[in-house]
Amino acid sequence: MKLIDYDGLSAPFPPNDIEWRVGHASKKTPPTCTLLAYLTARAVMDRLDAVVGPSNWQDAYSPGPDGGIMCSIAVWDGTKECWISKSDGAENTNIEAIKGGYSGAFKRAAVKWGIGRYLYSLGTEWHDIVEHFSAKRDGVDYIKVKVGSKWSWVKRPKLPSWALPERPKDPSWYDDQASFCSELSSNGLKYEDVASWCKEMGRPRPSRMDSTGRSRLLDYLNSKEGLDRFSSWRNG
């Protein structure tokens, strides 16, 4: 029996898998714009295939309100031995209306499963617009965006650490896991709480640290300063 891997579904995507579109554009000189992050339907499909398996998810569509489209994504729950569905809808788009409506509804339903939901938490920043290709500087990663009716270029936004994929588990974790979790437990701490705290502090989860890093983390949590900071975060 296989549990649905919600953590795997909701995990951040590599930066190059993130697409960007213009939110608002200013008419100031030099021109600037805000950018909104989104995923392609293909990236969502790849995530479902990778996490739950190609044969363990399915999508279905039906007419939505005001001519829109509803999508339901069902994932097989091996523990309950049944399909669990989550649904959402979208309006048809101005370009390739039907195709855009299906894609939009599919991606919205995927957010109900946690796929790409973290992108909604990204802050709004203004970015300089480069209107001519010749003005691009070598060595800088630019993305092409449509501003009004013309195409321009903007530096690819730098994502915060919490919006980046985590590094793989350190090989030493498999030997240290039992003793590390046991020491946390003896101090009244839970691994998932500590892991979440580390991530919010911009640090890797303990399973991604090497043995030295985990030892330092335990020393810090055993200190008054470390325990006070962790307790303040947990109770905040």
Q: pLDDT by residue (tens digit) across 203-217?
A: 888 988 999 999 999
Q: Does 100 score more than 90 pLDDT?
A: no
Mean pLDDT of the chain: 88
Q: Are residues 43 and 142 in the same domain?
A: yes
Q: Which of 139, 160, 181 finishes a domain? A: 160
Q: Are residues 155 and 43 in the same domain?
A: yes
Domain range for 19: 6-160
Q: Is residue 165 part of a domain?
A: no
Q: Which of 160, 190, 225 finishes a domain? A: 160
Q: Are residues 106 and 187 in the same domain?
A: no
CA distance linking residue 215 with residue 189, whole number of Å: 15
Question: Which stretches of the chain are assigned E, i.e. beta strand?
Answer: 19-25, 32-38, 57-63, 69-77, 82-90, 126-130, 142-147, 150-155
198 Cβ contact partners less than 8 Å away, ≥ 6 residues apart = 204, 205, 206, 217
Q: Are residues 183 and 66 in the same domain?
A: no
Write down the pLDDT at residue 2. 67
Q: Which of 107, 136, 160 finishes a domain? A: 160
> Two tokens at 32?
């600037």
Count structural domains, the chain. 2
Q: Are residues 36 and 145 in the same domain?
A: yes
Higher-pLDDT residue of 149, 51:
51
Higher-pLDDT residue of 14, 147:
14
Task: Tell me the mean pLDDT in the region 4-11.
Answer: 88
Q: Is residue 168 part of a domain?
A: no
- For 215, the enclosing helix (H) or strand (E) is helix 211-222
Q: Is the peptide bond before 30 cis (omega within 30 degrees of 0)?
A: yes
CB atoms within 10 A of CB 182: 9
Higher-pLDDT residue of 107, 5:
107
CA distance linking residue 223 with residue 216, whole number of Å: 11
Q: Is residue 143 part of a domain?
A: yes
Look at residue 204 and give its three-state secondary structure.
Answer: coil
Write down the pLDDT at residue 55. 95
Q: Are residues 146 and 195 in the same domain?
A: no
Write down the pLDDT at residue 152. 87
CA distance linking residue 103 with residue 101, whole number of Å: 5
Burial tier of 67 (Cβ tally within 10 Å: 0-12, 13-18, 19+): exposed
Q: Is residue 92 part of a domain?
A: yes
